[in-house]
Chains A and B, each alone.
Chain A
Amino acid sequence: MQAEERLTLETLPADPEKATLEGKNKFLGFWLFLGGETVLFASLFGTYLALKNSTNGGPTTQELFELPIVFAATMLLLTSSLTSVYAMYHMKNLKFKQMQLWLIVTVLLGAAFLGLEIYEFHHYVTHFKHTIKSSAFGSAFYTLVGTHGAHVAFGLLWISALILRNAKRGLTLYNAPKYYVASLYWHFIDVVWVFIFTVVYLMGMVG
């Protein structure tokens, strides 16, 4: 069987993402990449923790953050993580339509999260004059949260491209690993967000 053939119930392996050598490599390589990303975000977290009180006379974390909007964003992203799990569940059962559908839901939730983040940043800039240039705290805050936001934006483009590219082809051993690593990426974004809302926002409110 060729990797590019559409999978049927007869040919569907238990782990379609790891059934070819290319798939195995992609799976492992992407996990390793996530290991590197862990260090990348840790460096940004460390920088933020070192600089979070250097407000240069500008607003402090307590004055700035509003928890309801952060809570809403958190719920959106956590739910999008669940919907991408649903998508992978349907992939393993070869229900391609459902998989695509759940991924579309994931993208919509992610887009809503990103919208909230843009609104939040806009709010800080217009109401508090809190910009990336105004203080070391501002630089560290926007860089950490913004890097996460950029990851979300990239994930949205990536998953959308996958959905569109494969809309007519169905699941194959060639694209199954691509879907799988995209969902891993999406979960990882969620993992990072869990630490952002805890370390940046919640700890920022505690002081």
Chain B
Amino acid sequence: MSSVAKKKSVLWDYLTTVDHKKIAILYLVAGGLFFVAGGIEALFIRFQLAVPNNDFLVGDAYNQVLTMHGTTMIFLAAMPLIFAFLNAVVPLQIGARDVAFPYINALGFWLFFFGGVFLNCSWFLGGAPDAGWTSYASLTLASQTHGVDFYILGLQISGIGTLIGGINFLVTIINMRAPGMTYMRMPMFTWTAFVVSALILFAFPPLTVGLALLMLDRLFGTAFFDPALGGNTIIWEHLFWIFGHPEVYILVLPAFGIFSEVFATFSKKRLFGYSSMVFATVLIGFLGFMVWAHHMFTVGMGPIANAIFAVATMAIAVPTGIKIFNWLFTMWGGNIRFTTAMLYAVAFIPSFVMGGVTGVQLASAPADYQFHDSYFVVAHFHYVIVGGVVFGLFAGAHYYWPLMFNRILDETLGKITFWLFFIGFHLTFFIQHFLGLFGMPRRYFTYLPGQGLETGNLISSVGAAFMALATIVLLVNVVKTAVSGKAAGRDPWDARTLEWAVEAPTPEYNFKQLPFVRGLDPLWIEKMEGRKEMTPAEPVGDIHMPNSSFLPFTTSLGLFIAAFGAMYMEGGKETEWLIVAFIGLAITFGSMLLRSVIDDHGYHIHKEDLDGDDKGVTA
């Protein structure tokens, strides 16, 4: 990672790569940058709210920072970081040499990246979106600047990237598992990746449609959400939340997967209740599509609809509870090692359960009328997203760093990060429950003194500083590890699953011979029988590899350019910008045409050129 852009050739390598391991690093770097950006926005918010009547960010400026914090964290930080781990781990966990669609995998990254860059260009071009991360249509249509157009087009571009990424992982998991890797032998992380990809497949099209309708209304004068012409703004709310609720499961399920791997490895036990974990994962995915309207209890859908969605929402506590108990039982009687990753996993359980409990409270529709749009809600979703997703990503970073970079992150610094972050997280958000109950509304840029809100807000802001400090220590850790870390070698955690059977650093073809999988935790089975490596399922042979390509980059760049044209052309009246839009689309469609007409058969690595000696199966 540190070597990116050092040499021209390395840069070109990453711009054109179709290797899932390198794409994982691209996702990690880009997602990490956006995570820092979103974190700085969060600090600005907490700085403004630290004292009453503060004038650091007033009115629209606050709205912009608030909107960009939410949008960036969900779409540009959490999603790509999850895709980083999906890319780094899933193909190795199922014993595959590659993903099903390496080219599309690269295209997915570049679409996300250009969408994210486009969205953040808004800061320098007249102001960021200011209608909240949910961008409700009545606010969006009333917004004066191009900010919300950046939101609409940027998310549209990155959303397409996510969708095709999801299809790629579904096909990879269905078609490319190693011999013996049945569905019920797949590691938990792969299972969550599978369910999450299915959620992406069905949740992103409604977002695509919703964004398209908003775009038509904003840029082409249609009337979907304009009540004067018969439109209805509730359509956007439904479309957004039909996407938006599965989206939070898209974020949290891979975190569950990472925790499952971490708990099993560092308890030296197989995951307790594996089949019930699979069942719970699928059930959460299924129920995730039935509950979106609990975000809209106060819209006025009527008591019957509210009751149905309230009950469905509470039902999700059941499979989640199953998971919590399984993790606890995995640790029970285990030989526990408190590594940094394990600390995050252990801390996750009470933190996430607190978010779950407030979730059930909010699911009760009559109570929600009181909680709605208050800081109670803010506290709730930060408890599930930070306590669930971010803890998961940090655990994953420490756990999978050796797999991705062949270095172990410094454990001392890692533990300092953990404690700072853990304390800061609870300091920031626990008090917000009470701020909400005291009557502090969400999204307001200030509050008055003498209403009992000062102390709580100050505590919350101090907590945010702790989390910022934790992130700085983490970044120092990354640099230190890159500069002076020692090679981690193969299987540094004494782990159980297939991804740790590959050589370190992982060769580009992953497995010299595809492994033969004989049960759940296949590497552990071999280790228990005294072998260090997997039993091969095939003789050493030539390995087919895909060619790298620059076209994913240009395809995405075209959309990036076209989005500027579409935004500034004022419905076609500004001819220069219309031309820009067409140039952008021409680049995109031209790249797609080139991809179609130029045959790409890939190349072979001949067996004589494979590294290592012949007896190794792991290469």
In contact, A51 and B230 (Cβ under 8 angstroms): yes
Question: When chains A and B are docked, how far (Å) is the Cα of A51 from the Cα of B230?
Answer: 7
Binds B, one of A33-41, A85-93, A108-116: A33-41
In contact, A132 and B596 (Cβ under 8 angstroms): no
Residues of A within 8 A of B210 (CB): 43
In contact, A25 and B100 (Cβ under 8 angstroms): yes
Residues of A within 8 A of B545 (CB): none
In the complex, the chain A residue whose C-beta lies closest to that of B164 is A33
Chain B nearest CB, measured from A179 CB (Å): 12
Chain B nearest CB, measured from A61 CB (Å): 14
Give which listed residue, A4, A24, A40, A55, contacts B230 with CB less than 8 A.
A55
Residues of B within 8 A of A62 (CB): none
Chain B nearest CB, measured from A40 CB (Å): 4
Chain A nearest CB, measured from B177 CB (Å): 12
In contact, B224 and A28 (Cβ under 8 angstroms): no
In contact, A28 and B174 (Cβ under 8 angstroms): yes
Is residue A161 within 8 Å, beta carbon to beta carbon, of the partner chain? yes
Contacts A29-B167, A50-B235 given: A133-B175 contact, CB under 8 Å?
Answer: no
Residues of A within 8 A of B597 (CB): 161, 165
Is residue A137 within 8 Å, beta carbon to beta carbon, of the partner chain? yes
Question: When chains A and B are docked, how far (Å) is the Cα of A37 from the Cα of B170?
Answer: 16
Name B202-241 residues within 8 Å CB distance of A: 202, 204-206, 208-210, 212-213, 216-217, 220-224, 226, 229-232, 235, 239
Residues of B within 8 A of A143 (CB): 212-213, 216, 222, 224
Question: When chains A and B are docked, how far (Å) is the Cα of A50 from the Cα of B212?
Answer: 17
Is residue A47 within 8 Å, beta carbon to beta carbon, of the partner chain? yes
Name A2-45 residues within 8 Å CB distance of B: 2-4, 21, 24-25, 28-29, 32-33, 35-37, 39-40, 43-44
> How many chain-A residues does the 8 Å CB contact rule pick out?
36
Contacts A37-B205, A136-B223, A139-B216 given: A21-B601 contact, CB under 8 Å?
Answer: no
Is residue A54 within 8 Å, beta carbon to beta carbon, of the partner chain? yes
Question: When chains A and B are docked, how far (Å) is the Cα of A40 from the Cα of B229?
Answer: 24
Chain B nearest CB, measured from A2 CB (Å): 8
Is residue A149 within 8 Å, beta carbon to beta carbon, of the partner chain? no
In contact, B204 and A36 (Cβ under 8 angstroms): yes
In contact, B230 and A135 (Cβ under 8 angstroms): yes
Chain B nearest CB, measured from A192 CB (Å): 13
Is residue B593 within 8 Å, beta carbon to beta carbon, of the partner chain? yes
Contacts A28-B174, A43-B209, A143-B216 given: A133-B599 contact, CB under 8 Å?
Answer: no
Chain A nearest CB, measured from B48 CB (Å): 37
In contact, A40 and B209 (Cβ under 8 angstroms): yes
In contact, A32 and B224 (Cβ under 8 angstroms): no
Is residue B171 within 8 Å, beta carbon to beta carbon, of the partner chain? yes
Is residue B340 within 8 Å, beta carbon to beta carbon, of the partner chain? no
Residues of A within 8 A of B170 (CB): 28-29, 32
Contacts A28-B171, A139-B222 given: A36-B202 contact, CB under 8 Å?
Answer: yes
In contact, A29 and B101 (Cβ under 8 angstroms): yes
In the complex, the chain A residue whose C-beta lies closest to that of B231 is A136
Give which listed residue, A28, A56, A174, contacts B229 with CB less than 8 A.
A56
Residues of B within 8 A of A55 (CB): 230
Contacts A4-B599, A4-B601 given: A51-B231 contact, CB under 8 Å?
Answer: yes
Question: When chains A and B are docked, how far (Å) is the Cα of A29 from the Cα of B173?
Answer: 11
Chain A nearest CB, measured from B547 CB (Å): 13
Contacts A3-B601, A24-B175, A43-B210 given: A161-B593 contact, CB under 8 Å?
Answer: yes
Residues of A within 8 A of B209 (CB): 40, 43-44, 47
In contact, B167 and A32 (Cβ under 8 angstroms): yes
Residues of A within 8 A of B174 (CB): 28
Contacts A54-B230, A174-B599 given: A29-B100 contact, CB under 8 Å?
Answer: yes
Give which listed residue, B204, B224, B239, contacts A139 with CB less than 8 A.
B224
Is residue B280 within 8 Å, beta carbon to beta carbon, of the partner chain? no
Is residue A155 within 8 Å, beta carbon to beta carbon, of the partner chain? no
Contacts A28-B171, A56-B229, A137-B230 given: A36-B205 contact, CB under 8 Å?
Answer: yes
Residues of A within 8 A of B208 (CB): 40
Contacts A28-B175, A35-B201 given: A133-B168 contact, CB under 8 Å?
Answer: no
Is residue B42 within 8 Å, beta carbon to beta carbon, of the partner chain? no
Q: Which of B201, B209, B232 has the most CB of A within 10 A?
A: B209
Question: When chains A and B are docked, how far (Å) is the Cα of A156 from the Cα of B295?
Answer: 41
Is residue B188 within 8 Å, beta carbon to beta carbon, of the partner chain? no
Name B168-186 residues within 8 Å CB distance of A: 168, 170-171, 174-176
Residues of B within 8 A of A177 (CB): none
Is residue B163 within 8 Å, beta carbon to beta carbon, of the partner chain? yes
In contact, A135 and B171 (Cβ under 8 angstroms): no
Name A93-112 residues within 8 Å CB distance of B: none
Contacts A43-B210, A54-B231, A161-B597 given: A133-B171 contact, CB under 8 Å?
Answer: no
Residues of A within 8 A of B212 (CB): 143
Give which listed residue, B202, B222, B593, contacts A39 with CB less than 8 A.
B202
Residues of A within 8 A of B242 (CB): 43
In contact, A132 and B202 (Cβ under 8 angstroms): no
5 additional contacts (CB under 8 A) given A32-B170, A50-B235: A28-B175, A43-B205, A133-B221, A138-B222, A139-B216
> What are 15 sample pairs from A and B whose C-beta atoms fall under 8 A apart?
A32-B167, A36-B201, A44-B209, A47-B224, A51-B224, A54-B229, A54-B231, A132-B222, A134-B223, A136-B230, A138-B222, A138-B223, A139-B216, A140-B224, A161-B593
Could you tell me which B residues sit within 8 Å of A by CB distance?
Answer: 100-101, 104, 163, 167-168, 170-171, 174-176, 201-202, 204-206, 208-210, 212-213, 216-217, 220-224, 226, 229-232, 235, 239, 242, 593, 596-597, 599, 601
Could you tell me which A residues sit within 8 Å of B by CB distance?
Answer: 2-4, 21, 24-25, 28-29, 32-33, 35-37, 39-40, 43-44, 47, 50-51, 54-56, 132-140, 143, 161, 165, 174
9 nearest CB pairs, A to B:
A54-B230, A136-B230, A40-B205, A139-B222, A43-B209, A25-B100, A136-B231, A39-B205, A29-B171
